[in-house]
Amino acid sequence: MSARRPTRAEIDLAALRHNFQEVRNTVGDDCDILAVVKADAYGHGVAGVAPALAEAGASIFGVALVEEGVELRRLGIDQPILVLGSAFPGQENDLLEYRLTPVIYDLDCARRLDGLARNAETGIDYHLKVDTGMGRLGFRVELLDEVLAILKQLKNLNMVGLMSHLAVADEPERPLTSVQYQAFVEVVARVEQHGFNPRYRHIANSAGIYSRALSGCNLVRPGICLYGGLTGGPYAEEFTPQPVMHFISEVAQLKIVPPGGGVSYGHRFVASRRSRIAAIPVGYADGYNRLLTNRGDVLIHGHRAPIAGTVCMDWILVDVTDLPEVQIGDRVTLLGRDGNEFISAEEWADKVSSITYEVFCGISKRVPRVYVDPAASM
């Protein structure tokens, strides 16, 4: 196919590297960085993002699924890959074939992996996950001594990492994060008492990196902050991310609607004046949330223009009456910056009662990711 519709997600690799360097500046050179690229690099496209992060200095990559780890290897990523969701039954051989490191959070998985390694006459490295307060995955702290005694008997497994996960690090006023950090310090000591010496000790996600000192940890797991999330609030002075994704389209049609005329499904927008309406080829099938009906804005020529009426599967309509210079083919920014105006993922999320993660991950596969690197052209 030689040409596509103009709707696309432009991924700024220079901004990605800037955000990675922000993390590096915060944690220092003695702490390794695990770049989380699960869910197709939070919707940014792992094929372009992972090589850029590897070049920037990521020590390890984190994925949710074995399938995602396999994809990274096929892309040529050679760094260790941690499978945060571990391996489900039947996926164990892929761990060996593609040199993936599982997280172990239940003993059935540990025993399966030990048996696989024994039969293959090899060893399997893993990270042990302990639940210090998230209440999701991981061994409960009160069962840790029993678990460690069993793991000690699984001679074909090698604990190279010890981890936990923070539940409310993005709410720094809540005491749970401090409680979890203290529990993790005690977990590290107990693991060492049982004769294990994991190379990596890690608990901090993006918010955790900026919310507490990381004493005792030598690895951090930035995710959303790499992609320009985690802005404002308590992090504004410590972290100055640059937006990595710009969700872009173009004006496809312009139409005059008379006073009293309605547009789009349900006529949820009725013109109160002679209105100039632009049709943009993007819709909820692309990840432009239907809840932005009559609530969202786009940017054209550095100015805001409101959504007019219902967001359709493939189209949105925009009121450009106050922007008479708008013409067919003009660039439309749905998410990102145009001149002095900026539509952030946080703004979008607030309008649809969601979170930035869902905004990024919701940009669908039919929207091509186009990688741009302003620094490379200088």
Return all residues near 55 (Cβ < 8 A) that are at least 6 apart.
17
Are residues 160 and 99 in contact, defined by beta-carbon separation less than 8 angstroms? no
Q: What angle do the packed helices 46-56 and 13-27 form, to 10 degrees? A: 40
- Residue 129 a catalytic site member: no
* Rounded Cα–Cα distance for residues 58 and 281 (Å): 37
Given 155, 255, 265, 365, the catalytic residue: 265
CA distances from 213 to 102, 147, 204, 289, 364 (A): 27, 29, 10, 37, 37
- Residue 227 a catalytic site member: no
Are residues 147 and 181 in contact, defined by beta-carbon separation less than 8 angstroms? no
* Rounded Cα–Cα distance for residues 169 and 315 (Å): 38
Phi, psi torsion values for 55, nearest 5 degrees: -65, -35
Given 38, 42, 210, 227, the catalytic residue: 38
Residue 125: count other Cβ atoms within 10 Å of its Cβ. 19
CA distances from 178 to 41, 214, 337 (A): 29, 11, 36
What does the angle CA 241 – CA 243 – CA 11 come to, to the nearest 5 degrees?
Answer: 135
List active site positions: 38, 265
